[in-house]
Amino acid sequence: MISFEAQPTQFFSSSATTGVQTSKHFYHDLFDYEMSFKKGFEYFYGPVNQYTVLALLPSYLERSDSSLIYMVQQMIQESGQEESGFYLNQWEALKNKLLELEQKGKNTLLFGVSFALMDFIECYKLSLENTIVMETGGMKGRRKELTREALHEKLCEGFGCKNIHSEYGMTELFSQAYSKGSGMFVCPPWMHISVRENQDPFNQLGWGQSGGLNIIDLANRDSCSFIATQDLGKVHADHRFEVLGRFDTSEIRGCNLMVI
């Protein structure tokens, strides 16, 4: 769906396991996306130039149409730090950089897809005090899926940190929600989450009830701002929300695939 007159030629597409159809998000320009992810991150974490931004996103880095890669690439540039950058499968180099930044006492932000973070901690055990580890989604068919609680427990042990942060986003959205631990996500002010009944999409559920997640994203000005996802979750009275998994019959894709 688009809401601009020009012929759509540019798009982001979703990641997918072999044989699964991907989705496309067409856009007119990237101004709204850039404003949304920059202001959204700053809303929760402060200016990105306070961090050295590292990224371990192998399944995304190999694709030129990933919205996540575009976001992280822009954040790396905005950080203004020479040490910021992507790491494909250079685990030892990443380990050395994390230890170097830790020794210098520099605030560090590590974005990582779940399976790559798990692969990394199977090789190295660290103790990080100045690093935010931000997981961006599931195993992409590379490893056995874990609940977010089990995943974070393993990552906390491997990285030696108190909490694992999470980014909740998808190709269809120009905004992201963030969790600073315990799997409880918070939206920026221009993004809203509600829950619908599994069998009746017109029935909206109340606080604490589990169902399909509906998202309003006002940053999607040139596409569809109202997304009925295939994610299962619940919204609490304080407007924080949890992602519990996917519908059993939904496609295995997206940036936050977890099992119930």
The domain that contains 107 carries what CATH number? 3.40.50.12780
Return the pLDDT at 89.
82
Summarize the confidence of residues 107-131 as an average pLDDT: 96
Return the pLDDT at 120.
96
Query: 214, 228 in Cβ contact below 8 A?
Result: yes
In a domain, 1, yes or no: no
Q: Which range is most confident: 64-68, 84-88, 220-224?
A: 84-88
Q: Model confidence over 31-49: pLDDT tens digits?
A: 999 999 999 999 999 999 9
In a domain, 90, yes or no: yes
In a domain, 153, yes or no: yes
Given a cut of 70, is residue 138 above it in pLDDT?
A: no
Instruction: Give how many domains the chain has, as a whole number.
Output: 1
In a domain, 255, yes or no: no
Given a cut of 50, is residue 258 above it in pLDDT?
A: no
In a domain, 92, yes or no: yes
Average pLDDT over the chain, rounded to an integer: 89
Given a cut of 70, is residue 194 above it in pLDDT?
A: yes
Return the pLDDT at 4.
58
Give the predicted TM-score (pTM) of the model.
Answer: 0.89
Span of 88-102, 115-129, 215-229, 238-252 with lowest mean pLDDT: 238-252
Strand-pairing partners, residue 254, are none
In a domain, 104, yes or no: yes
Given a cut of 90, is residue 162 above it in pLDDT?
A: yes
Query: 71, 57 in Cβ contact below 8 A?
Result: no
| 252 or 22, greater pLDDT | 22
Structural domain that includes position 202: 23-246
